[in-house]
C-alpha cells in the first residue's frame, strides 16, 4: 500500500522537488499540495497528479499519512497546529528555529511523530557519523572550521546543517557547542583560541548547499566535505524518511533514527 504524502509550501523550490519525488516514487502517493491562499497556483492542478494546490490544511491532512514541510518557522507552526488535530506525522526540513521553538516542536512530538532535520540528504546525514569519528581522533589537537555556502536567498546563517555539524563535533568531544563556536574571530584583532569551532558563511548566487569541515593540524589538514549537486538529494531523503515516519509511534526523531532503522 502506498504512503499518502502531503507537501507543505508546495510552490517553493524544495516543495516542487518533493512533489516530483513523491510522484515518481513507487511506494508514495501525493494527496495534498499546500500553498498560500493568495498564491497564483491555488486551485490549479499539480503536474502529473489528480489533485489541486490548496490552502485547506485540515482537509489535506485528514487524507494523508504524513506531511513534509520545507517552509519558514511561522509556516511550520501553523502546519503543526493542524497536524496535531489530525494526528498526522510530520517531516520538518525547515531551518532557522530558535531554542524555544525547538522546545515547542518537541512538545508536539509527545503526541505525533515528528522528524526534525535541518538537512534531509542521505549523504549529509552520513557525514555526521564521519565527523563524530574524526572529532574523537583529531578534535583535541586540531583547529576546527566549518565552512558553509548557500544561495543568496537563504535567510538564516549559519545554516541549520552547519550548526548540527558543530553540535555533532562538540558532543563527540564532550563539550558544549555554544561555548566553543565562533563566527566573528576572523574579523577581530586576535589570534585563534585553542578549542574553538569556527563558523564561516557564504551567501552567493544560486549555490544549493555546500558544507566543508576542516580539522587543521600544524602540518596537515583533513577535510570532510559534502556538495549538493541539485535539490533531488534533499527530496529523496525526505520522501524515504516520510514513508518510514508514517509507521512510527509518537516521538521526536532525526534522520539518524531513520538511517539506523533502514
16-26 tens-digit pLDDT: 999 999 999 99
Q: Which of 150, 181, 211, 226 is catalytic?
A: 150
**185 pLDDT tier (thresholds 50, 70, 90):** low
**191 pLDDT tier (thresholds 50, 70, 90):** confident
**Using CA atoms, how far apart are residues 250 and 235, in angstroms rounded to an integer?**
23
103-123 tens-digit pLDDT: 999 999 999 999 999 999 999
Contact 246, 3 (CB under 8 A): yes
**Using CA atoms, how far apart are residues 232 and 121, in angstroms rounded to an integer?**
9
The yes-or-no answer on residue 211 being catalytic is no
**Structural domains present in the chain:** 3-120+231-261 (3.40.50.720), 122-227 (3.30.360.10)
Contact 252, 109 (CB under 8 A): yes
Q: Which of 2, 13, 39, 154 is catalytic?
A: 154
- CA distances for 11 relative to 35, 44, 129, angstroms: 6, 11, 33
46-90 tens-digit pLDDT: 999 999 999 999 999 999 999 999 999 999 999 999 999 999 999
Block residue for cell numbers 524515504: 240
**Using CA atoms, how far apart are residues 89 and 217, in angstroms rounded to an integer?**
44
Query: Taking Cα atoms as reference points, which of 70, 74, 79 lies closest to residue 19?
Result: 70
The yes-or-no answer on residue 150 being catalytic is yes
What the block records as the C-alpha cell of 144 is 576546527
Amino acid at each position: 500500500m502506498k504512503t499518502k504524502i502531503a507537501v507543505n509550501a508546495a510552490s517553493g523550490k524544495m516543495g516542487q522537488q518533493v512533489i516530483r519525488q513523491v510522484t515518481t516514487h513507487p511506494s508514495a502517493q501525493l494527496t495534498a499540495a499546500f500553498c498560500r491562499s493568495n498564491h497564483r497556483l491555488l486551485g490549479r492542478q499539480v503536474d502529473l497528479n489528480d489533485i489541486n494546490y490548496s490552502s485547506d490544511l485540515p482537509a489535506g491532512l485528514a487524507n494523508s499519512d504524513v506531511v513534509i514541510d520545507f517552509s519558514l518557522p511561522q509556516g511550520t507552526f501553523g502546519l503543526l497546529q493542524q497536524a496535531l488535530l489530525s494526528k498526522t506525522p510530520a517531516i520538518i526540513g525547515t531551518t532557522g528555529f530558535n531554542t524555544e521553538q525547538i522546545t515547542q516542536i518537541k512538545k508536539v512530538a509527545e503526541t505525533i511523530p515528528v522528524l526534525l532535520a535541518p538537512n534531509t540528504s542521505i549523504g549529509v546525514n552520513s557525514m555526521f557519523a564521519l565527523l563524530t569519528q574524526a572529532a574523537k581522533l583529531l578534535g583535541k589537537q586540531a583547529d576546527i572550521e566549518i565552512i558553509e555556502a548557500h544561495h543568496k536567498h537563504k535567510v538564516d546563517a549559519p545554516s541549520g546543517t552547519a550548526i548540527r555539524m558543530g553540535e555533532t563535533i562538540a558532543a563527540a568531544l564532550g563539550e558544549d557547542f555554544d561555548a566553543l563556536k565562533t563566527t566573528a574571530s576572523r574579523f577581530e584583532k586576535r589570534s585563534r583560541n585553542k578549542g574553538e569551532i569556527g563558523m564561516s558563511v557564504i551567501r552567493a548566487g544560486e549555490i544549493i548547499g555546500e558544507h566543508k569541515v576542516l580539522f587543521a593540524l600544524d602540518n596537515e589538514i583533513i577535510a570532510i566535505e559534502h556538495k549538493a549537486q541539485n535539490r533531488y538529494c534533499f527530496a529523496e531523503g525526505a520522501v524515504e524518511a516520510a514513508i518510514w515516519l508514517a509507521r512510527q509511534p509518537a516521538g521526536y526523531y532525526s534522520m539518524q533514527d531513520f538511517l539506523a532503522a533502514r
